Structure 1
Amino acid sequence: MNRQCPFAIDAFGADVHAEAALVREQAPATRVLLPGGVSAWAVGRSADIRRLLVDPRVSKDAYRHWPAWISGEVDAEWPLAIWVSVQNMITAYGSEHARLRRPAAAAFTARRAAGMRPRIEEVVGELLEDLAARESGEPVDLRTRFAHELPTRIVFELFGIPERSWAPLHRIINAFFDTNITAEQARRNAADLDVTMADLVAHRREHPGDDMTSALIAARDTTTGTDTTGTGTGTGTGIGAGAGAGAVGEGARLSEKELVDTLILLFTAGYETSVNLICTALHELLRNPAQLELVRRGLASWEDVVEEALRIEPPAFYGLLRFAVEDIDMGEGVVIGRGEPILISFGSAGRDPAVHGADAERFDVLRATRGQHLSFGFGTHHCLGATLARMECAVAVRRFFETFPAAALAGAGELPRVQSFISNGLRELPVVLGPRAPLAD
């Protein structure tokens, strides 16, 4: 591996941390090949990432700043096209980003997130009761039965998603993060998403409620009227002439496509990443009982656990994609050329020894730098759902160990991880629950 000869990012994410260490140690930016043969620069040092995330010379808008996308050299046939073809705040640049983020931020306020704590506590209690009722001494998969169920219920309720759409959306979201997906599978997934999202938006227009989807529809319709022809509800398949059009009408906040793509971003990010985070926090405490004891003795908090889990295993390992608006001198003789794509390694930043010390690969709830991670991004693209994700994880982990104080991992050895270089989490978390703690009088 050298600066001139790119290496291929493993589409299966078999050893993302070893790969990230190579990126981090090689240079400020290293040439890599993404699935489908797309060339990019990978950046893995924390200081370099922080600098790029606030640099106005870095964009996430492929329609404006990625020549290969604009010319059609890379198009909808690229298996990972969904990550750059959507038009929402995560892929917008400059004033467009502010315009698209504004209605989402207005709908998803800190007050709304804080107000969800009672419901989170209630759902966690229901899930733990179900686990206790079925306890047989046999291992239970906590990813499926607990970590997956909590954010699913919370996010789908938050967005007012009808139950008939739950199963299709689970399947679609899982395919999003499958970085070994074929072009044909990606096309089918995008088509399924079009149908599912059109159904959701139509349902909420007809039956508005106190949910995020209804709030975003109201923001769009109040500003632009209810004419939904606009740019259509395509979510990544409408690439070509006209794709990339902005809002409908002067000063409009969201076009129909932007509305749909914003919804996709918000509940996709709120679901998959929260599942991964809860699994990581549970897993690290189960395999590091001394760390759990620090929390039980009051020397560390459950919030400390969440931050260290975010640092050591970011729920999203890489961020796709950013683009150099102009040449960027990274130092050490490395220049990212204008229009070249950039792959940010949030997972690498979390284990950068320059920030976290020589033992950065060790889980330590007392680590002084546990909060100095980039797992929710940095700068203008900082995750809107960070407060909710942290709350869900802290409540879930606290309540789990209060209910099952003797829980232990079932078996030894490494657990299988999701096959993705974007999503970063366990495929399963088999645990023997042990006896339930006595109920308080």
Structure 2
Amino acid sequence: MVDVRARISGWAGKLVMRRIQRKGIDLSRISFIPEPTKVPLQRHGLDPVPRLAEIRATQPMHKLDLPFNFRAYLVTGHDEARQILTDRDSYSNDIRHMFHGDGPATSDDIGGLGFTDAPLHTRLRKIVTPEFTMRRLARLEPMISDIVDRQLDALAIEGTGADLAKHLAFPVPFQTICALLGLDYEDRDAFEKLGSARFDATNGGAAAFGAVSEQREFLFAAVAKQRKEPGPGLIGQILRDEGDLISDVDLAGLADGVFTGGYETTAGMIALGTIVLLRDPAYAELIRRGEPADVERIVEELLRYLSVVQVAFPRFAKRDMELFGQRIKAGDVVLASLSGANRDPRSAGDHPDEFDPYRIPASGHLAFGHGIHRCIGAELARMELRIALPKLFQKFPDLALAKPQEELRFRELSFVYGVDELPVRF
């Protein structure tokens, strides 16, 4: 799930305050998120709140009740969200105009793929796409398998009560991304905290963009160092291929998207996926057997069911238009709820709010988004899940949660859903 999704954190507070930006208020300093925008980020355990399904059933295009006459709309249906995400001509993803130059984040902090339009987006995506083809990713499979084995051994050493999130879910994608980019595996604890903080919308933009800036400083330093002496990973390869044709801002944006989006989202999927598979011994046995067709189908259903990336990048209307019965104006914001779309019975089939390891949806899920901003690292995420989950249940055939799901601490308002810790027994 590699992309610059991390910088979505805090967008809601920014959007509400856009109208008073001219008065010198830096959007990245806003410390709240409006109540109406919380619905697509809220959950009851692993499920979206019922209000999201109510909106999907009655209002394909739901106008959010925001102050300052700010106009924003939430799309929750699968077909409607897919249409929005596919339309590259009617919307812009560029939000750099919304930042001052003296706050926790500036326009220079916004790079990469998720918040850029063509032709810059086209050029940047072309640079990184070759690294994420199935053929290129295949060479990572032995390395990922070794990482999983080492982390499972570490989990075993910790014994019953060990935190699966700390010892498996986080380090597997984190080490994989470090190796892919050519970064040193260090400061693990600091980056774990910053990674979750930048997705957290609880305190609006200020705290989230502070975490963004701290991580970007690290990546700017890594880019500067490798510009002098390119390393063996993706950063070094881009510098060898592009040289001065790519700026430090754009390269750091690409690296930031791969780095942050590539571990926090997959970490959430490993931890939450484990919770789901432990609900029924039949689920655990199916993944433990490790038959490729079964594993592939289970991973896709987990991606649909969990939808850890809850909201797609915001789209800004380029022109006045009518959309699903609503008149929207140029500059209005359209938000696609991925968790809502993936629970739509029109696409998922019967009982979309249930996990079904044998489900074959009527149409593909939107866990990785869709269209030109679809997650470029989708296949890497799938590979990590297909390796980690079977190995986990094979290593620990009696794996169980060390506390009831109801007592786990889930992230209350986060663009990337997850759990802070996952104690297990075996």
Does the TM-score normalized on the shorter chain lie above 0.5? yes
**Residue 98 of structure 1: how far off its partner (Å):** 0.9
Shift of 1:349: 1.0
2:321–2:328 CA contact under 8 A, matched in 1? yes
Secondary structure of the 2:307 match is coil
- More relative contact order in 1 or in 2 (CA 8 Å, sep 6+)? 2
Mapping for residues 359-374 of structure 1, pairs under 5 Å:
359-369=351-361, 372-374=364-366
Equivalent pairs counted in the alignment come to 386
Using the TM superposition, give the Cα deviation of residue 186 of structure 1 relative to its aligned residue in structure 2, in angstroms: 4.1
Of 392, 415, 425, 2:384 maps to 392
Distance 1:213 1:339, change over 3 A: same
Corresponding residue to 1:45 among 77, 81, 101: 77
Q: 2:29 matched to which residue of 1?
A: none
| 1:402-441, Cα deviation, whole Å (9 max, x unpaired) | 11111112233423212334111222222212xxxxxxxx
Residue in structure 2 matched with residue 30 of structure 1 by the alignment: 62
Native 8 Å contact 1:273 1:316 kept in 2: yes
Q: Distance in 2 between matches of 1:178 and 1:274?
A: 16
Distance 1:177 1:35, change over 3 A: farther
What SS is found at the alignment partner of 2:314? strand
Aligned partner (choices 228, 251, 257) of residue 265 of structure 1? 257
Picking from 218, 238, 255, the partner of 2:247 is 255
Under a length normalisation based on structure 2, what TM-score does the superposition of the two structures give?
Answer: 0.82
Contact 1:376/1:382 (8 A) holds in 2 = yes
Give the secondary structure class of the aligned counterpart of 1:319. coil
Residue equivalent to 1:381: 373
Cα offset for 1:75?
5.2
**Cα distance, 1:309 vs. partner?**
0.6
CA contact (8 A) 2:349 2:362 kept: no
The answer to whether the Cα contact below 8 Å between 1:61 and 1:84 also exists between their aligned partners in 2 is no
**Is 1:408 aligned to residue 400 of structure 2?**
yes
Asked if the contact 2:347–2:362 (Cα under 8 Å) also holds between the matched residues in 1, the reply is no
Are residues 1:9 and 2:37 paired?
A: yes
Provide the residue aligned with 2:11 in structure 1.
Answer: none
Cα distance change of structure 1 residues 170 and 77 upon mapping to structure 2, 3 Å threshold: farther
Q: What one-letter code is carried by the residue in structure 2 that aligns with 1:273?
A: T
Q: Within 5 Å, give how 1:139-218 maps onto structure 2.
A: 139-186=161-208, 188-218=210-240
Deviates more, 1:181-190 or 1:105-114: 181-190
Greater CA deviation, 91-100 or 147-156?
91-100
Q: Is the 8 A contact 1:54 1:380 kept in 2?
A: yes
Match of 2:149 among 116, 120, 125: 125
Match status 1:322 vs 2:315: yes
Instruction: List per-residue Cα deviations over 1:286-332 (Å, max 9, x = no partner).
Output: 1122223344566961111110110001121112311111233222x
Q: CA deviation at 1:129?
A: 1.5
Preserved contact between residue 308 and residue 370 of structure 1 (Cα < 8 Å) = no
Inter-CA distance 190–361: structure 2 relative to 1 (3 Å threshold): closer
Q: Mark the structure with the bigger radius of gyration.
A: 1
Q: From the two aligned structures, give the one with the greater helix fraction.
A: 2
Range 144-153 or range 86-95, more displaced: 86-95
Q: Distance in 2 between matches of 1:84 and 1:374?
A: 29
1: CA distance, partners of 2:125 / 2:71? 29
Return closer, same or farther for 1:219/1:170 CA change in 2, 3 Å cut-off. Answer: farther
Q: Which amino acid aligns with 2:312?
A: G
Provide Cα deviations, 1:239-289, integer angstroms capped at 9, x if missing partner.
xxxxxxxxxxxxx4x322111111111111101111011112211111122
- 258, 277, 283: which is aligned to 1:285? 277
| 1:258 to 1:118, Cα distance in 2 relative to 1, 3 A | same
- What secondary structure is seen at the aligned counterpart in 1 of 2:323? strand
Q: How does 1:233-252 map to 2 (within 5 A)?
A: 252=245
Write the deviation string for residues 136-184 of structure 1: whole angstroms up to 9, x where unpaired.
xx32221111111111111112112224454443333222101123554
Once the two structures are TM-superposed, the CA of residue 360 in structure 1 deviates from its matched residue by 0.5
TM-score by length of 1: 0.79
Contact 2:130 2:136 in 1 (8 A): no
CA distance in 2, matches of 1:279, 1:37: 40
Distance 1:164 1:295 in 2: 32
Change (3 A) 1:161 1:425: same
Question: SS at 2:379's partner residue?
Answer: helix
SS at match of 1:343: strand
Tell me if the contact between 1:168 and 1:196 (Cα under 8 Å) persists in the aligned partners: no
**Partner of 1:100 in structure 2?**
124
Structure 1 unmatched runs, 5+: 1-5, 64-69, 225-251, 434-441
- For the 8 Å contact 1:9–1:35, the answer to whether it is kept is no
Decide whether aligned partners of structure 1 residues 148 and 340 sit closer, same or farther in structure 2, where only a CA change above 3 A counts.
same
Whether the 8 Å contact between 1:7 and 1:31 is mirrored in structure 2 is: no
**1:180 maps to amino acid:** T
Say if 1:327 and 1:335, in contact at 8 Å, map to a contact too.
Answer: yes
Q: CA 1:204 to 1:126, structure 2 compared with 1: closer, same or farther past 3 Å?
A: same
Are 2:90 and 1:90 equivalent residues in the alignment?
Answer: no
Q: Note closer, same or farther for the CA distance 1:411–1:47 as it changes in structure 2 (3 Å cut).
A: same
Partner of 2:411: 418
User: Separation in 1 of the partners of 2:53 and 2:100?
Assistant: 31
In structure 2, distance between residues paired with 1:370 and 1:132: 40
Structure 1 range deviating more: 363-372 or 271-280:
363-372
More off after superposition, 339-348 vs 176-185: 176-185
Quick one: distance in 2 between partners of 1:315 and 1:356? 17
- How far apart, in 2, do the equivalents of 1:402 and 1:101 lie? 37
Q: Distance in 1 between matches of 2:271 and 2:366?
A: 19
CA separation of 1:52 and 1:313: change in aligned 2, threshold 3 A: same
SS of alignment partner, residue 412 of structure 2: coil
Deviation string, structure 1 residues 42-61 (Cα, Å, up to 9, x no partner): 11100001111111212212
